Amino acid sequence: MNKSTYDLRQMVQAALNEDREMQEHGIEVLDTNGIITLTGTVPTPHARERAETIVREVDGVTNVINELDVI
């Protein structure tokens, strides 16, 4: 994993952790050249959408693949 990929992944994870609603969920973040894939589970469709919105606002993210499951 190159440094820039690691940094972007860390920035995305930090952005999710800064949001009170997202702190409770174990969302996994994968970065492939700026394309962020989110996996894991969230309790509501709102939380799923919120996670994607947060990630899209991070500089360097070019696209988001939201594979979060609502349970």
pLDDT tens figures, 31-58: 999 999 999 999 999 999 999 999 999 9
Residue 11's pLDDT is what?
96
Q: Are 71 and 29 a contacting pair, CB within 8 Å? A: no
Q: Domains of the chain by range and CATH?
A: 3-40+50-70 (3.30.1340.30)
Predicted TM-score (pTM) of this structure = 0.89
Q: Counting Cβ atoms within 10 Å, is residue 60 exposed (0-12), middle (13-18) or buried (19+)?
A: middle
| β-pair partners for 68 | 40
